[in-house]
Structure 1
Amino acid sequence: MVQQPKRNMVLTVLILAVLSIFCALPFLSLIASQQAPIALILLTIFLSLALFVQWRLDPGFTVCLVPDRKMLVWIGITGICLVYIAASCFWSSNPADSLQRLKRLGLLLAIGFLAVFAAQRVPPASHRLMLSVVFAVTGFAALFVSEKVFGLLSNTIWASESDEFKAQFLNRPSTYMVMLAWPAAYAAHRAGKNLVSWALVISLPLVLFWSSSTSGALSAAAGFGAFLVTSLNRKAATILFGAVVFVSVLAIPYAIKNEAFLNAAVSAVRQTGAFSAAHRLGIWNFVASRSDEKPLFGWGVDVGRTLPGAEILLGDVESFSPYLDKLDQTFPTLRSSPALPLHPHNAALQLHLELGVVGAVSFCLVVVYAAFSLAKIGSPSAARYTVAWATSWFVIAYFSIGLWQTWWWALSAICLIQFTYFCRSCGADRYAPTEQCKHR
């Protein structure tokens, strides 16, 4: 029989080994910068293993293994959303693809909930371990060196200079940088390194404005603005965030068809000379027009690839034709560009197209509720970072990504897990078992 001191030593080694892997966030974040879903799975395994080992082997470990009320509420909200998305598969133009997307999204959410559950209950990180997340962001420098010196293609913001990279991962590197930087800045703050934290916060928009990613620069700048506003008044900042989400999501289908709005947007695009921006104006106008055909419930989840008529070129989109005449000189190849390549590159319009007004309103409610929840998970100072992250998240979703992309939700989950872990105070009192909640 193993003696108690020896058993405790073995237990301590096992727990520290598992937690050291989890807290080696440079390792996980560098994986996330290439494959976010794989990083999320690894993070979930490490956290779950740490919780399981401590629960089974440490006699002094007492923690409630029943999900708390807030998590149950979120599970309920997620379940309702998935039910509606599942229902949309029945009227989808391609039910098979819609069902496949639903399965991936459901599995990803289940993994994310498991990781958050474990992150709430494993021992809180020390200041030294908190600082490790800072190196997750600075670890991108290693990728930069490998690319610049050795010519290796990597998912860093500087890889956007590569034509090959642009064709496959446009805006993805800047998205990784923005999403991972806010948890890193908060971890530095929690570790008492406020100078490091502020350096990350201030340098983020500066670095991204130096890159060629417009959406990355906008999201970093918006996040920085939200950080400052939340520092002054947390409640006002979250209310302002909610108002912006509702107005921008519900108004975009009408604004993108408005003549005055489009003329102003076309003039701005011509001045910048950004082809991707001009192309997206055309995509958004086409998507808004098609959304009008099924405004209430949409065409079905993930139908962008198979939407009837999506294969046409922008030159054949009647509603955008007057504006193409103004853009021809600056962008001569714009007419021959697809009207809808894969997805609309705008979460709000994608929701209107695929899930209708019902889906768009539901999305607004969930995002706003999530922002208010994030603003309350830690101390008042934590709200600056969580609201800033939520703002950057929304801007990226609004201007850049396809809403259902697996890597996007996996990366979002990784950031939420980090916030959950680092927002906890020292000790696990919140999850200590009650008389009705004992693990043995």
Structure 2
Amino acid sequence: MTTTLASAPQLERAAPESPTGGRLATWCGWVMVGAAGLTPLLAWLSPLGFAPLLALMGLLCLPAFRMTDEDRPLAIVLLGALVWAAVSSTWSPFQPKPGGHSVVLEVALGLPLFWSAICGARRADPRLNTLALNVLAWGVALVGAVMVVESFTGAALYRRLHEAYYQPIRIDLAQTNVAHSCFVLAILWPAVLVGGLRRAWQIPLLLTAVAGTVLAAHTFLADAPVLALPLSAVAMLVVWLAPRVGPLLMAGGAAAIGFLMPALVWAVRATGDYGRLEQDVQLSWSARMSYWSRTLDWIEAQPVRGWGVDASRAMGPGIQLHPHNGALQVWLELGLIGAVAAAAFWGLSLMRLSRGASNLGMAGVAGSTAAYIMFAWVNFGLWQQWWLALGALISVLAAMLENRVAIPKST
């Protein structure tokens, strides 16, 4: 008798047949398997590699590119935001050098490729999607085990590989890079290991990934991945217990908090305790709070149209590169129009997780998305291509989880 964690019919729905089948489904399936093999390596050794990985996936899956009626509202929001960002570049104080870094161009090229990768996961052979998810599960668990080793050796494995195949690296930089890997792992494990959890023997893989994430993040002083653990757990539980309403609550919450982020910072400042809190917290959080306060001042000066795409790069020393809060960065650079587009994006995206019955895959995706949003609000810049690609990877995983082989019932 086979023991499964998802033998009840409501836990998994049968994977839909590939719309085309044949060679295209097989081709897209093997693209997913290949990406699954590379993802754990990039998570540990080079998170910046997610941008070229997702772009390559998109190129290889271009024959599968489609847009459904359900996709159209989200596509309109993204296209509208891109056009507004391009228009805003005409008044932005940051102007890239000829042939240099151009946010609008990078996003314009990235969006269709990332979308194509998602379509590839939808059109892939369900059996190969299942294989890809299994490869990912073992890979993410292995990275978790590596993180445990790195925690006790001071990132020795990473340093040795870096020095052997690239160049010497200082110990503190190596540890910082490993700490960045914890962010990626914190985003991946809910969708990969919770969403793909199908049999009891896979539970140790989940525990290994979680333990490695928490231990390495704590060791290398990365607070956010540790804080993301309970947040992801709550998101998964809500979507699992309330599969229809839970995603709607997440959608409304993410959209509202992101849109109201300047008001939240203003409210804390209005209490008169903002400066005291800024002095009491750790140095890294103190720097963030300083950025957020200065960003609010800039937003108040030009709230409707914003200062233009990538303007935060020109606002030093008060803001270094970006405000370390994606919601504030949208308000700062794209103004009210951008903030509305961002709220619509998160609302529409999370609403699509709603199901009529409990679905472990969508619960896992909700956990990954919750961690991603949290990191976007306290860590990374809005326009970093690897960061946008990692967000697209969550959508690819969601499509893979939907389009996979159904579990046979226990006998």
Q: Which TM class, normalised by the smaller chain length?
A: 0.7 to 0.9
The structural deviation recorded for 1:236 is 3.6
How big is each residue's C-alpha offset from its partner over 1:53-112, in whole Å with a ceiling of 9 and x where there is no partner? Answer: xxxxxxxxxxx8753323344333321111111111122123447981001111111210
How big is each residue's C-alpha offset from its partner over 1:172-211, in whole Å with a ceiling of 9 and x where there is no partner? Answer: 3222111221232145314675634753686477446634
Distance in 1 separating the partners of 2:37 and 2:267: 46
Letter of the 1:111 partner, please give it. Answer: L
Residue 410 to residue 134, structure 1, CA distance change in 2 (3 Å): same
Structure-1 residue corresponding to 2:365: 386
Contact 1:346 1:402 in 2 (8 A): yes
Instruction: Report the TM-score when normalising by structure 1.
Output: 0.71
Structure-2 residue corresponding to 1:106: 108
Structure-1 residue corresponding to 2:141: 138
Structure-2 residue corresponding to 1:93: 93
Instruction: Report the TM-score when normalising by structure 2.
Output: 0.76
Residue 25 to residue 371, structure 1, CA distance change in 2 (3 Å): same
Instruction: Structure 1: state its 5+ residue gaps.
Output: 1-10, 53-63, 155-160, 312-337, 428-440
SS at match of 2:127: coil
Structure-2 residue corresponding to 1:361: 340
Letter of the 1:27 partner, please give it. Answer: L
**Rg: which structure is higher?**
1
How big is each residue's C-alpha offset from its partner over 1:392-430, in whole Å with a ceiling of 9 and x where there is no partner? Answer: 111110111101111101122223212211221439xxx
Distance in 1 separating the partners of 2:349 and 2:278: 33
Contact 2:235 2:366 in 1 (8 A): yes
Instruction: Structure 2: state its 5+ residue gaps.
Output: 1-21, 163-169, 407-411
Is it true that 1:254 corresponds to 2:263 in the alignment? yes
Is it true that 1:175 corresponds to 2:189 in the alignment? no
Is it true that 1:234 corresponds to 2:243 in the alignment? yes
Contact 1:227 1:385 in 2 (8 A): yes
Q: What are the equivalent positions in structure 2 for 1:32-111 lying under 5 Å apart?
A: 32-36=43-47, 38-42=49-53, 45=56, 49=60, 66-96=66-96, 100-111=102-113
The structural deviation recorded for 1:262 is 6.4
Contact 1:119 1:421 in 2 (8 A): yes
Letter of the 2:88 partner, please give it. Answer: S
Q: What are the equivalent positions in structure 2 for 1:316-395 lying under 5 Å apart?
A: 338-376=317-355, 380-395=359-374
Distance in 1 separating the partners of 2:401 and 2:333: 36
Structure-2 residue corresponding to 1:292: 300
Is it true that 1:213 corresponds to 2:222 in the alignment? yes
Please provide the CA RMSD for this pair.
3.7
The structure, 1 or 2, with the larger RCO (C-alpha pairs under 8 Å, 6+ apart) is 2
Is it true that 1:121 corresponds to 2:123 in the alignment? yes
Structure-1 residue corresponding to 2:383: 404
SS at match of 1:300: coil
Identity of aligned pairs, percent?
19
Structure-2 residue corresponding to 1:303: 311
SS at match of 2:310: coil
Residue 129 to residue 150, structure 1, CA distance change in 2 (3 Å): closer
